[in-house]
Amino acid sequence: MVNLHIGFDDTDSPRGGCTTYIAALLVEKLVKLGVGFIDYPNLIRLNPNVPWKTRGNGALCLRIECNRDLVRTIFEMVASVVEENSDMGFVDTDPGIVFFQGKKIPLQLRQFAKRTIQNIVRIDEALDLMKSFNCEALGFLTSYGLVGALAAVGETLEGDHTYEVITYRKPESWGTKRKLDLKSVEEMDQKMKGRTYNNVDEETGRILITPRGPDPIFYGIRGETGKDVLFAQGMIRSSESVERYVLYRTNQGTDAHLRRMGSISDIRPFNSVIVNGVVSSMPKLVPKRHRIFAIKDSTGCIDCAAYEPTGTLRRVARQLTIGDEIEVCGGVRSSGNNPLTINLEKIRLRKLSSRLVMRNPRCQKCDKRMKSAGKGKGFKCSSCGFRSLDIQKKAIRENRDLKKGLFVTSPRSQRHLTKPLCRYGKEKSGKPASMLDHWHTP
């Protein structure tokens, strides 16, 4: 018997397809071959900032135990299923498959996976590692999918992780409107609060468990345990038949992509960063209701952007003022010769500065707020008529509504990897001691 880790990536395109759907097809075929799964299929979200990703930048790894004489059969079967179900006609679809045999994933592969989740890595590095550890691999077209495939093998989810059950539509339904009972989703969300997350956007009421594209996914429910999400799945009603479903263990909702930077000068394009700074420019409104401000430290300055869909985060950004000490989290965008910008996912307010505003004086007779009488003419009271040339505007310390603490972008704009507020304090480690029955069908 051997332990076999099968990683694959980059099979879909904006036109359709889904790498998790290929995983679901392979689960059915592998079970029929009589192999044993040593973990739930691992859904690994990679760096969300890479410019060539399709949607969620997810790679998959299936970890099984099988007879050694089945390895060649399994490799050929996986290659066939990936080739048949990938959008090879799309210019940026470059599938890759990696096979690794062994009970323990080497440290170098685990480190490679972490870099792939947080940074940009070269395919040469993946090829060298595969050669060093005798991985068998198959790449299509440019073969860049081998990077994600190897990263999926290397990320064993020993640290914090969550679960997602994904249901799939019958092929004849792909591209049509999803027939989901939205009321049942709202009811499930209320009953499963704290055990599942990001089912409904509370600000807009938008249902978040369904994608909006032509891919095979019907809906997906994310939560803390496999038992939780399968139970929640049972509450969902629809008038559309489900072809299959699979329970995944995943790094979603864990902030695995974020890397703490020592200083602003260390930030590079396409990183996902956590960095401290002091607000150095007042937030300004740009087209489409986005808020932009800058932070600085002793090494440099960088812009931060809270876009309109971030909801809560944009409202917090609007109230910042120069001198506030904050921690920001987000992906670093680079656009031509423009300065780097952090697309905000979170803001932690550490220390709020005092903000002084200049106010017109109060009337010495009736205490009403006075008005300017004109340039060089002092102030006048519109209530009692009192005038004076000798009084000036006064600096008043403004009461600020903001409180120190952590603020996270609204659910509708959260990336797959962003840890929502409801998950803080629920971090877990280690794979489950045993697997649930009925974690997939068929």
Nearest to 416 by CA among 180, 211, 122, 151: 211
Question: Percentage of the chain surpassing pLDDT 70?
Answer: 98
Mean pLDDT confidence for 191-204: 95
Spell out the long-range contacts of 191-194 with Cβ–Cβ below 8 A and sequence spacing 24 or more.
191/235, 192/223, 192/228, 192/231, 192/232, 192/235, 193/422, 194/224, 194/422
Give the lowest-confidence range in 22-31, 57-66, 385-394. 385-394
pLDDT at 358: 84
Displacement of CA 278 from its chain's centroid (Å): 25
Measured on CA atoms in the order 251, 257, 261, 266, is the torsion positive or negative? positive
Question: How is residue 286 written in tokens?
Answer: 């740009």
pLDDT(126) > 90: yes
Mean pLDDT confidence for 222-234: 98
pLDDT at 263: 97
In the chain, CATH 3.30.70.2200 sits at 2-158
In the chain, CATH 3.90.600.20 sits at 162-250
Mean pLDDT confidence for 270-277: 96
Q: How confident is the model at residue 91 (pLDDT cuts 50, 70, 90)?
A: confident
The CA distance from 84 to 366, in Å, is: 84
Peptide bond into 361 cis (omega under 30): no
Please tell me the pTM assigned to this model: 0.90
In 170-216, DSSP assigns E strands to: 196-197
CB distance 152 to 59 below 8 Å: yes
CB distance 144 to 127 below 8 Å: no
Phi, psi dihedral angles at 27 (to 5 degrees) = -55, -45
In the chain, CATH 2.40.50.1010 sits at 259-354+399-423
The CA distance from 306 to 87, in Å, is: 34
Nearest to 152 by CA among 288, 264, 39, 30: 39
pLDDT at 196: 98
User: In this predicted model, what pLDDT tens digit does every residue of 234-273 receive, in sequence order?
Assistant: 999 999 999 999 999 999 999 999 999 999 999 999 999 9
CB burial string 184-219: b at 16+ within 10 A, e below: ebeebbeebeebbbbbbbeeeeebbbbbebebbbbb
Other Cβ atoms less than 10 A from the Cβ of 139: the count is: 20
Q: How confident is the model at residue 437 (pLDDT cuts 50, 70, 90)?
A: very high
Name the H helices within 34-136: 71-85, 107-118, 123-132
pLDDT at 355: 75
Spell out the long-range contacts of 354-358 with Cβ–Cβ below 8 A and sequence spacing 24 or more.
354/323, 354/397, 355/321, 355/397, 355/398, 355/400, 356/395, 356/396, 356/397, 356/398, 357/395, 357/396, 357/398, 358/393, 358/394, 358/395, 358/396
Locus of tokens 């990263």: 151
Question: Percentage of the chain surpassing pLDDT 90?
Answer: 80
pLDDT(216) > 70: yes
- Amino acid identity of 131? K
pLDDT(141) > 90: no
> What's the topology of domain 162-250?
Glycinamide Ribonucleotide Synthetase; Chain A, domain 4 (3.90.600)
> What's the topology of domain 2-158?
Alpha-Beta Plaits (3.30.70)
Residues in the chain: 442
Q: Which residues contact 361 (CB under 8 A, 6 or more apart)?
A: 369, 370, 379, 391, 392, 393, 394
CATH number of 259-354+399-423: 2.40.50.1010
pLDDT at 230: 98
Most confident of 85-99, 380-394, 428-442: 428-442
CB distance 257 to 273 below 8 Å: no
Question: How is residue 14 written in tokens?
Answer: 């904006």
pLDDT at 336: 66
**Distance in angstroms between the alpha carbons of the first and the last residue of the chain:** 25
Burial of 421 (0-12, 13-18, 19+ CB in 10 A): middle
